[in-house]
Amino acid sequence: MKTRLNDGCRGHSKNQLGMGLLEIFIGLTIALFLLAGLVTIFGATRQNFTAQNQLAQLQDDQRMAMGMLTTVIQEGGYFPNPQSLLVTDALPASAPFVLSSAVAGTGTVAGPNAIAVRYVASPSGAATSDFLLDCNGASNPSTTGIATFVNTFALNASNELTCAVNANPAQKLVGGISNLVVLYGVDPDGNGSINQYLAAADMTAALWPNVLSARVTLTFLNPLAGQPGQPASIAFTRVISLMSKT
């Protein structure tokens, strides 16, 4: 015998079915919102991670570039045995250097500039070895005599800081640099105090032997340029004293 469902039961089943579909649609909508939120969070986290890596690389490049410039500029004008060797003999007039000068340079205050630094190193392995390193990390290879080293820093067309030792080809040190400006701290009256900082274009032959320090500014391309509030470049400045003049 068949049992016939009354109309009330059939209506109740339809309501249950309708509520089930509605709940599914609501659940899907909520899930989509949550998924969109997760995608946004993931994108922001990834962007932040990339930015942190780029800033870390910028800091590493800045430390390396300034570290190498500092090491070499501090060595400028050094020569062994000053008791027996005159500065005019150790640092003769030889282009681009004038007599007794430790540094030479080119360019205006706007940059980009080039700076050449020279020093005299004692023989390798000598008892009086001074362990001076050039911008390529090498010392005097000779074991029998002193040697003069000229380190020339400049920027190339690829925004790379380069350094050439003596007549050897320039080697890349650090990339991503848009400008190099060097101002020279001069002591024209010889009292041991710097009177002013001048660009190479404003120096005279008489001032070059009286350079006590160099104020170096490296301008790096900002890896975060284009983001809101970020400048196109970031400048780092350091004053480097010549140890031979202190």
Look at residue 66 and tell me whether its pLDDT is greater than 70: yes
119 bridge partner residues: 149
pLDDT in tens, 171-212: 999 999 999 999 999 999 988 899 999 999 999 999 999 999
Q: Evaluate whether 219 touches 177 at the Cβ level (below 8 Å).
A: yes
Structure tokens at 37: 């939120």
Q: Which residue has the tokens 């003999």?
A: 89
Look at residue 6 and tell me whether its pLDDT is greater than 80: no
pLDDT in tens, 113-163: 999 999 998 876 555 556 788 888 888 776 667 889 999 999 999 999 999
Query: Is 40 contained in some domain?
Result: no
Range of the domain at 168: 56-245
Output the average pLDDT for the chain: 85
Burial class of residue 146 in the structure, from the number of CB atoms within 10 Å of its CB (0-12 exposed, 13-18 middle, 19+ buried)? middle
190: left (phi over 0), alpha (psi -120 to 50) or beta: left
Query: Is 11 contained in some domain?
Result: no
- Report the candidate in 163, 200, 164, 138 with the shortest Cα–Cα distance to residue 65: 163
Query: Is 150 contained in some domain?
Result: yes
Amino acid (1-letter code) at residue 78: Y
How many domains, the chain?
1
For 76-209, where are the alpha helices, taking DSSP H only? 87-90
Q: Evaluate whether 161 touches 174 at the Cβ level (below 8 Å).
A: yes
Q: What is the pLDDT of residue 56?
A: 84
Query: Is 3 contained in some domain?
Result: no
Query: Is 167 contained in some domain?
Result: yes
Q: 91: pLDDT confidence band, cut at 50, 70 and 90? A: very high
List, edge to edge, every strand of the sheet that includes 177-186. 196-199, 177-186, 211-221, 233-241
In percent, the amount of the chain with pLDDT more than 70 equals 85
Q: What is the pLDDT of residue 39?
A: 74
| Between 203 and 85, residue with greater pLDDT | 203
Query: Is 47 contained in some domain?
Result: no
Query: Is 210 contained in some domain?
Result: yes
Residue 153 phi, psi dihedral angles, 5° rounding:
-100, 140
Q: What is the pLDDT of residue 183?
A: 98
Other C-beta atoms lying within 10 Å of the C-beta of residue 234: 18
Q: What is the pLDDT of residue 157?
A: 94
Q: What is the pLDDT of residue 143?
A: 61
Q: What is the pLDDT of residue 225?
A: 82
Q: What is the pLDDT of residue 118?
A: 96
Q: What is the pLDDT of residue 117?
A: 97
Query: Is 224 contained in some domain?
Result: yes
Lowest average pLDDT, out of 33-37, 63-67, 230-234, goes to 33-37
Look at residue 9 and tell me whether its pLDDT is greater than 60: no
Q: What is the pLDDT of residue 1?
A: 45
